[in-house]
Amino acid sequence: MHSRTTSSIKSPQNLSQVNQVLEPLRERRQKLDNNEAYRHKRRDQSGTKTRLRIAFGQFEGKRAVVSQIVAALVRAVLVALLVTAPALLMPTIANDTAQIVVVIAILASLLTFMEYYGRYPSIVEFRFAAPFNRLKYIGILVTVVMLSLISRGKTDPSSITILFTQFGSGIGQVIDFPYSPVRLVLLMLPSNAEAELVQDVRTAAGMAYMVSLAMMLLFITCVRLYGWPMHKGSFNVWINLPLFDPTRGGDIVERLKRDAGVNIVLGALLPFMIPTAIKAASDMVDPISLANPQTLIWTMTAWAFLPASMLVRGIALSRVAELIEEKRKRVYAKAEAEGLQRA
């Protein structure tokens, strides 16, 4: 019986019938295996992509932190170089003066690093609206370096110091006319001042005032011709004006315009008011000695760039007020158009 059954199964006809029955089952199983393998492959690929995205995001975050630290360090070093520039360029300097300069440079660089290491500004205005602060830094640096080289030329003359001395002397003589800021600076000197000191002050004042005017003209060009601060995209008012309190009350546009007007008026008057105030106070206290080269350099730089910085800030605030007012007009016009369409 068993042999008969075995022989019947092994016959070609029966084998073909069995294969016909099993073939769909094999195909179905193969399809299931392929589908299962495809699902595993997709899951592995999805997991790999997710891990790659997470790793890439972490790498980008670390790179952004490193870039921010490097940028803050570079700015801190640049500020330190600005503070130490007169001491480095002068041929000789007293030990006490060198120590004071080093301390001030360290403090200024630390403050700069802390300010720019933070994600959002706390003191520096228009930090994300270049080239506002860059123009001011370059202007002050150029003034300090040029005045330092002019002072160096007295004891260690060279071709570049002679060139700057002649250029500054010519500028000072051109600007030195009655009631000019340079003439007022000369009038604050004592009546018995030596002719050499008067010439040095005239040269330094003319050079510093010329560089400050050039800085203001460059900023006005950026505003009017290149559309500052919208030339590189959007402008955030609150992170670029950290000292401006929007909760004090009143309309923001009116407050910005008022602050802009105050800065512009003070910036225009300070070059005339500072020498007058120093001359008036010289009867009660000893005036500053401009015979010291470093005192002359920093006094003339502050006298020229404090008013210029206020003028530039006033122009910037006025520009921001214009942008806010234009945006309001667009929003109101859009709301009015939508209201008319609905009606």
Cβ neighbours of 208 (radius 10 Å): 31
Q: CA 150, 135, 233 angle in degrees (round to 5)?
A: 165
pLDDT in tens, 305-326: 999 999 999 999 999 999 999 9
- Any residues with CB less than 8 A from the CB of 205 and at least 6 apart, and which? 172, 175, 181, 182, 185, 186, 300, 303, 304
Question: How high is the pLDDT of residue 250?
Answer: 79
pTM: 0.80
pLDDT in tens, 122-173: 889 998 888 999 999 999 999 999 999 999 998 889 999 999 999 999 999 9
Which segment of 37-51, 56-70, 173-187 scores lowest on mean pLDDT?
37-51
Six-digit token string for 249: 């009350």
Question: How high is the pLDDT of residue 278?
Answer: 81
The pLDDT confidence band at residue 4, using thresholds 50, 70 and 90, is very low
Q: Report which residue type is found at 210.
A: M
3-state helix, strand, coil in the chain (%, to 5): 80, 0, 20
- Distances in Å between the Cα of 326 and the Cα atoms of 233, 240, 322 are 16, 19, 6
- Any residues with CB less than 8 A from the CB of 313 and at least 6 apart, and which? 125, 260, 263, 267
- Any residues with CB less than 8 A from the CB of 186 and at least 6 apart, and which? 176, 198, 201, 202, 205
The pLDDT confidence band at residue 237, using thresholds 50, 70 and 90, is confident
Rounded to whole angstroms, the Cα distance separating 343 from 331 reads: 18
Residue in 220, 327, 328, 316 with CA at minimum distance from that of residue 261: 316
Report the range out of 44-48, 55-59, 233-237, 335-339 with the highest average pLDDT: 233-237
